Structure 1
């Protein structure tokens, strides 16, 4: 017993005619007759009798009709739901984002997407880039926005934007000119992303530079969030790194001073997805919005 057979049965019962049912389904009248016959043969029961020019249900047909109608209507609702999701009209969509996404695109992304798709629930998992990679690789997240470098086994990586990393201090003399790794390790350091430590992409770049010069970075304090590191730096406790985008935020402490690295250091923001995977329409729209926002932000003022 198939959905097509049940649909033919319901349409024939509603119209009292195989011909009308055939027109509604867009098939020939013999096709409807064959579908009904297979349904009757499956149960070894007669479902229709002819009374004049109109079909009438037998007792077995009357018993089946309620169940068949419920199955057909449920199938129709399921089709409608999937069509709506394909058109991004409702449902939910999840995207992994770098923890500091609020400095780049988060608020504008939510505002624009919600304005266009008010009935779609949006879940943005703001995590360390390393955790976003694990979520995408394990199939928990369809795609992610991360800072490079990240482990890219089983992943496809599409860079979007480079943002310069600066060194910041409340002591202006420490950042009066581009800083070297030798200068950095001479003063107390506070670093954020304590949970992921040197797996964090920016911290990894910093550590690799120090190692190439035979130096070791030993933070005086490690905290989880950039905001906490900036607060400690503003109090003169230690110096820290900061993305250029974050320096333009309203919450950036006014008493902090910044300088680039002697050899410029960059965060590269990128889209990642599992290799050979296919984006859903909602994820495509989200990523297009992120790309547009980042490209606009990168343009000179």
Structure 2
């Protein structure tokens, strides 16, 4: 028994003939006859009394009709629900985001998306880019917005923009000029994202710079959240790294001064997805909003080409990934 057979059966009952059912379904009359015959043969029961110009139901046909209507109607409602989801009208979507998304795009992104898709539930996950990578890999998250570098096995990576990483201190003399790694390792350092430690992409960049000079970076204080690190820096307890976007926030402590690195260091913000996957329209629309918001605040919007829906919804987009 198939949905197609049941739909033909219901239409034949409603139309009173196989010809009417064929017209309703846009198929030939012999096709309807064959579908009904297979249904009858499968159960070894006759469903219609074929006398006169109009079909009449047998006892078996009458018994089947209520069930057939329920199954066909449920199938149609399911199809309508999926069609509506494809149009991004309702449903739930999950996106992984970098830890400091609030400083870059998160409030504006949520507001814009909700304005155009008020019935779509938006779920945003992520304590750190490393965690987002794992979520995308294992399928918990459809896509993610992360800071590079990240392990890219099984992933496609689409860079969006760069944001400069600065060194922050409450002691103005320590950041009166561009800062070198030698100065950093010789002063008290406060680092955040303690749960992910050196898996954190920005921390890894800093550690690699120290290693290249034969130095070891050992933070004196480690905390979980950026806000806690900034509070310690503002009190003069130690220095930390911070992205330029964070320094532009109205909540950035006025007691803290910043300077670039002697060799400029950047966080690259990117979209990630599982290799060869196809993103849903809702996620694509959300990523387009993020891309537009990031480019609006980027000092040089031409650093990377825009990532838009046609590029990240087709399998051919893998050619643009950084893998």
Same fold (TM over 0.5): yes
Greater strand percent: which structure? 1
Partner of residue 218, structure 2: 218
Give the drift of 1:299.
4.5
| Residues 1:196 and 2:196 aligned together | yes
Partner of residue 14, structure 1: 14
SS of residue paired to 2:55: strand
What is the alpha-carbon distance in structure 2 between the residues aligned to residue 64 and residue 290 of structure 1?
52
SS of residue paired to 1:127: coil
What is the alpha-carbon distance in structure 2 between the residues aligned to residue 38 and residue 134 of structure 1?
49
Equivalences for residues 1-301 of structure 1 within 5 A: 1-299=1-299
Q: Cα–Cα, structure 1 residues 185 and 299, in superposed 2: closer, same or farther, change >3 Å?
A: closer
Give the drift of 1:102.
0.5
1:235-286 Cα deviation digits (max 9, x unpaired): 1111111000000111100111000001101001011111111111111111
What is the alpha-carbon distance in structure 2 between the residues aligned to residue 86 and residue 137 of structure 1?
23
SS of residue paired to 2:157: strand
> Mean alpha-carbon deviation: is it higher for 157-166 or for 15-24?
15-24
1:123-170 Cα deviation digits (max 9, x unpaired): 110321111111111121111111011111111111111100001111
1:29-53 Cα deviation digits (max 9, x unpaired): 1211111111111111111114532
What is the alpha-carbon distance in structure 1 between the residues aligned to residue 250 and residue 296 of structure 2?
19
Query: CA contact under 8 A between 1:101 and 1:126: conserved in structure 2?
Result: no
What is the alpha-carbon distance in structure 2 between the residues aligned to residue 26 and residue 52 of structure 1?
24
The count of corresponding residues between Structure 1 and Structure 2 is 301
What is the alpha-carbon distance in structure 2 between the residues aligned to residue 299 and residue 31 of structure 1?
64
Give the drift of 1:186.
2.1
1:69-108 Cα deviation digits (max 9, x unpaired): 1110111011111111111111111111101001111011
SS of residue paired to 1:102: helix
Structure 2: stretches of 5+ with no match in the other structure: 302-323
Query: CA contact under 8 A between 1:18 and 1:32: conserved in structure 2?
Result: yes
SS of residue paired to 2:208: helix
Partner of residue 311, structure 2: none
What is the alpha-carbon distance in structure 1 between the residues aligned to residue 216 and residue 260 of structure 2?
20
SS of residue paired to 1:54: coil
| Superposition RMSD in Å | 1.3
Query: CA contact under 8 A between 1:100 and 1:126: conserved in structure 2?
Result: no
What is the alpha-carbon distance in structure 2 between the residues aligned to residue 184 and residue 257 of structure 1?
15
What is the alpha-carbon distance in structure 2 between the residues aligned to residue 265 and residue 299 of structure 1?
15
SS of residue paired to 1:144: strand
SS of residue paired to 1:98: coil
TM-score by length of 1: 0.97
Which runs of structure 1 show a deviation greater than 6 angstroms over 4 or more consecutive aligned residues?
none
What is the alpha-carbon distance in structure 2 between the residues aligned to residue 37 and residue 274 of structure 1?
46
TM-score by length of 2: 0.91
> Mean alpha-carbon deviation: is it higher for 256-265 or for 123-132?
123-132
